[in-house]
Structure 1
């Protein structure tokens, strides 16, 4: 049965997952630091992929998925991550692992939202509003947990600096020990996820502010894309490909466009869309009315005007 995301049992489970991830990361760091690895590169890649990618999925799903569904989903993630890690190790992807891990994390984030929404809906396909709610909740939980983790280490650094100023270097030595900072980092991150999830109203308020700000940037990006497309017939594609990173730049524009459109229309409700994307239709509506009725005075630029247009 699905439990409350802010319950004490969920808190204990999340902190336990974070602590287990910290211990596994410490073991992995010791194995990587050894002169001779006791395991093959494939085994190390699988172990590293599971330790890095699996716990965050569990953290955001705890309290929001039924126990049986969560167990099956964790097993599916483990199998998929194992296959991805084996493929990466056998094809020497480890030379530049950042794009590899970033792509895997993005796929997991999307799949996590789809599966959680389907589990809550009770069917394979959920309503779009539920996808929107869960995806933004998961993203904000991870972002707020990272901010909490950064504040935690900033306070520890400040405290160690104060003690070092009076000749006490023990806090610095403790913070520099891998036995401390490696397990502490994922444990504090897991605590941050739970604290953010327990204050759902605060996270929802931050989401509203963030979506509003992003939505007002969507017309700017639309103008940039339109200007780029309008300039292509005159410049051609040759200068774009000669840069060496043109494909990457184009691919980066796509998720930004999706993000801004999503921030504008939100969950798809008629009263949820931000007036930013209504400005062009509003301008066309006012122009058409003035052409039909020249004596009509233009209304004030307000959100109510945008909704009517």
Structure 2
């Protein structure tokens, strides 16, 4: 506490230091932003240098802003140097892992690319937050494991600071945007153009952030008051969640687990529930003081909550194992495995705390969870470091697993997710897909090899993930489309030339309608609009979008309209009538309106199914 007090006595110097750091950060980020604008100049032309610099200037100054009022200059400088080395190294890997050459028609370097490259910047920021708390407390108490009340105070104080600072900066920019809008009402656009410039926006943001950190740091009573209120409110949610979880677990012996597995998101939901339980247990326990845990209902809920962590995490691990056994590893499953390991450590530690406690409901309630919280903080840093380096990079692990399954013959080539490899597998995935363009295997048929080579070439030639997905999901032949169609009235067949015309239409080539393989079965209804016209066809896919095709004078099929389906896909009477061809036509109630050469159609209100109450 003495070190903190001495730092607080130097408030003017601390504030000046924070302002200087904010200005240095602003200059660095501005120069990087300018270098990355077209035409790019050094260091943006060297991605392996640009990305580490960007990450260092984005994250490390925040450590200085927080630490300058907490610990002395020498240990802070040492910690900052270590953080620079770590962040720069991880930034180099974040860039080196990305695939292929950089597109020349855009700016690929920046926060959007880092965040889009899965998780590097966001998760690194979280890891630095945890590490900063551990370093600050260790320095202040001069030991590896400081007193738990110190850990609690530092962690929750800085957590509340981070929330308040983020809100302050957000409101700050909301005010500036409102100011620009107000002046724009008077045709004065200077202010609106001013705040859009990088040379204004970046320094304004860093200075606002610095001021917010300083204000929240020199008024600890404000932070403690907000923290106490938040923890008290959250702690009363623990009994509610425990009752829900106990009810859920209690119903499992009487029900099958199959509905749980069929959701395909059971593991994620169970892990989120376990994490929320741990959070609320700590909201109840706080720093372990007797007055914090005087309510018996909270102690009961905390003890039961710690016990039910075991089945929750076990079920999550089981669900994850089933998915991995079926489909192998992907990026999200590797991340889920890391979260499961961390939560399993909490679960084990909390169980030991209950077992070793003289009285789990007494004054020393769950005292040993303090050790668990400290150790799992270090475990979280180890897991993050592994995930953010080649050691356990989720993209590398996914590619290695999927290619291993392909080589072992447990994964047929047509089931290989080339899109995930190309767009989620970083440079390892791109190389794997590139190798698959000419890959051969005696166990594959000629058709399988040709399809694999064609799909791999298609995936590599497109930068847009969703466009590639639409292309790969299109049927490759009329026979493929016919297999997905149900044609009505029963007994009739598709007219000659219709399937070829449908596949050649812009509607189908853009991946709409029945051309997308994930749409499921499609319906084709042969109808008569007028006695003097040839029969028309309504194509309706499983997403309930409908289009009308008619023959022109030459007999060629053309897309002539889109159907306003309203609520009819859910009406059994409508489906039965269309399937049997029992339809009538009626003229439109209102004429169309032509405005500026554009036809506007007046649509009546949506009808309800027969017998359904509006």
Q: Shorter chain as normaliser: what TM range?
A: 0.7 to 0.9
Residues 209 and 175 (structure 1), Cα distance of their counterparts in 2 relative to 1, 3 Å cut = same
2:228 aligns with 208
- Contact 1:136 / 1:207 at 8 angstroms: preserved in 2? yes
Alignment of 1:189-268 (within 5 A): 189-231=209-251, 234-236=255-257, 239-240=260-261, 243=264, 245-268=265-288
- Please tell me whether residue 24 in structure 1 is matched to residue 24 in structure 2: no
- Contact 2:22 / 2:206 at 8 angstroms: preserved in 1? yes
More strand by share: 2
1:11 aligns with 15
Residues 101 and 236 (structure 1), Cα distance of their counterparts in 2 relative to 1, 3 Å cut = farther
Partner residue of 1:187 out of 187, 194, 207: 207
> Once the 2 structures are TM-superposed, how far is the Cα of residue 250 of structure 1 from its aligned partner?
3.9
- Contact 1:5 / 1:198 at 8 angstroms: preserved in 2? no
- Contact 1:149 / 1:189 at 8 angstroms: preserved in 2? yes
- Contact 1:26 / 1:179 at 8 angstroms: preserved in 2? yes
CA RMSD after TM alignment: 2.8
- Contact 1:5 / 1:64 at 8 angstroms: preserved in 2? no
- Contact 1:163 / 1:169 at 8 angstroms: preserved in 2? yes
1:44 aligns with 50
**How far apart are the structure 2 equivalents of 1:274 and 1:16?**
46
Alignment of 1:136-215 (within 5 A): 136-215=156-235
More helix by share: 1
Partner residue of 2:66 out of 60, 63, 66: 60
> Once the 2 structures are TM-superposed, how far is the Cα of residue 116 of structure 1 from its aligned partner?
0.8
Alignment of 1:80-91 (within 5 A): 80-91=86-97
> Once the 2 structures are TM-superposed, how far is the Cα of residue 83 of structure 1 from its aligned partner?
2.1
- What residue ranges of structure 2 are gaps of 5+ in the alignment? 100-113, 304-360, 364-614
User: 115-124 or 5-14, which moves further after superposition?
Assistant: 5-14
> Once the 2 structures are TM-superposed, how far is the Cα of residue 150 of structure 1 from its aligned partner?
2.0
> Once the 2 structures are TM-superposed, how far is the Cα of residue 92 of structure 1 from its aligned partner?
2.3
User: 51-60 or 68-77, which moves further after superposition?
Assistant: 51-60
**How far apart are the structure 1 equivalents of 2:40 and 2:177?**
34
1:134 aligns with 154
> Once the 2 structures are TM-superposed, how far is the Cα of residue 201 of structure 1 from its aligned partner?
0.9
State the aligned residue count: 284
Partner residue of 1:270 out of 290, 302, 310: 290
- What residue ranges of structure 1 are gaps of 5+ in the alignment? 283-305
1:289 aligns with none
**How far apart are the structure 1 equivalents of 2:180 and 2:189?**
7
- The structure having more radius of gyration, on CA atoms, is 2
User: 26-35 or 270-279, which moves further after superposition?
Assistant: 270-279
> Once the 2 structures are TM-superposed, how far is the Cα of residue 14 of structure 1 from its aligned partner?
1.2
| CA shift digits 1:268-304 (9 cap, x unpaired) | 111122635135599xxxxxxxxxxxxxxxxxxxxxx
**How far apart are the structure 1 equivalents of 2:9 and 2:39?**
43
**How far apart are the structure 1 equivalents of 2:293 and 2:258?**
35
- Contact 2:242 / 2:301 at 8 angstroms: preserved in 1? no
| CA shift digits 1:93-138 (9 cap, x unpaired) | 9483352222212211111111111111122210011000000111
> Once the 2 structures are TM-superposed, how far is the Cα of residue 77 of structure 1 from its aligned partner?
0.9
Partner residue of 2:79 out of 73, 84, 97: 73
Residues 162 and 88 (structure 1), Cα distance of their counterparts in 2 relative to 1, 3 Å cut = closer
**How far apart are the structure 2 equivalents of 1:79 and 1:235?**
51
Structure ranking higher on relative contact order (CA contacts 8 Å, 6+ apart):
1
**How far apart are the structure 1 equivalents of 2:9 and 2:144?**
22
